[in-house]
Chains A and B, each alone.
Chain A
C-alpha cells in the first residue's frame, strides 16, 4: 500500500525558507504570490492492511515533530 504523509509547519510558526522563496518569486516578477510555506512529502510503501493507528503513531513518534508541524496522511486508492 502506498501512503503519502504531508508534513507542514503549523500555522503561526514562522517559515524562514518559505519567506526566502517568496522573496525570490517576487524577484522573478511573480507579484501575485501572497505567501509561501515549505513542507515535506514522505512516501511510504507499507504492507496492505497496515492500520490507521500504526500510521498515526509513525507520524507522531518520528515523521512529524508535533511541536512545530502538522501532518496529513493520504492513502493511495487501492
Chain B
C-alpha cells in the first residue's frame, strides 16, 4: 500500500494530507515534488493537496497542471489509480483536463473559511463506497475560487452519470447546482473543494473526513 502526496510551490495542505493518510494507512505516504518525473513504483493512491500553487498566477491551478509530475499523474489516473484533489488540487485536476469544468471566483467575492455541510450524492465510487446516499458530512472549506462552473450539457452529463460526489447543503460559493465535488467518468478521480484532511481528529472539531479516506483505502486493501 503506497500513497503519494504531491507538493507544488505554494501548496500548504500537503503536510495535513500526509498526516491524514498516515493516520488511516498506518504508515506515511511518499512525498513528491512537482519537478519529480516519476511516481513511486506501484503507487496505489495519489493526493493533490490544497494551497495556492504558483500564487494562483494566471488562474488557480493553471501552472501546476502543466508541471512535469502531472504527466505521470494523468498516466496513473488512466491506469485506474485513485487520484484525490482537494481545493487547489481540485483546481489543478480541472486545469489538467482530468475533470470537467472550472473553478471560478466565489460568487460573493469573499474568501470563505468555515465548516460546510455536504450531502453525499454518489455512493458507488471507491471514494464514497463507505458512505450512504443523502448522508450529511461536516468538512471545512477554505477557498476564494471554489465556484464550480461547467456548461449545461456538461452538467447534465455529470449528473446523468452519477458523477456528483458531494453537494453543498447550502450553496456557499455560487457553484453550479451546488456542486462541491465531482468524479471522472471512470470514478477513480475525485476533485472536491472541502478539505477532508482537516476533519480527521476529534481535536479538529470532527472526523467526517476519515470516512472518505477509509473508504478509498479499504477498497484498495481488499483489491
**Residues in chain A within 8 A of chain B (CB atoms):** 13-14, 16-17, 20, 61-63, 65, 67-68
Contacts and interface: CB of A to CB of B under 8 A. Distances in A.
Contacts of A16: 104-109, 147, 174
B33 interface: no
B149 A65 contact: no
Contacts, number: 35
Interface stretch (B4-12, B45-53, B58-66): B58-66
Nearest to B176: A14
Interface residues of B, number: 20
Contacts of A14: 104, 107, 174
A65 B62 contact: yes
A11 to B, nearest CB: 12
A62 B150 contact: no
- A-B complex: 8 closest residue pairs judged by Cβ atoms: A67-B102, A68-B102, A16-B105, A16-B107, A16-B109, A65-B102, A20-B109, A65-B59
Nearest to A62: B66
Contacts of B151: 67
B117 interface: no
23 contacts: A13-B104, A13-B149, A14-B107, A14-B174, A16-B104, A16-B105, A16-B107, A16-B108, A16-B109, A17-B109, A20-B109, A61-B66, A62-B58, A62-B62, A62-B66, A63-B58, A65-B62, A65-B95, A67-B94, A67-B100, A67-B150, A67-B151, A68-B104
Contact of B105 (A17, A61, A63, A65): A17
B219 interface: no
B101 interface: yes
A13 B152 CA distance: 11
Most buried by A among B104, B105, B149: B104
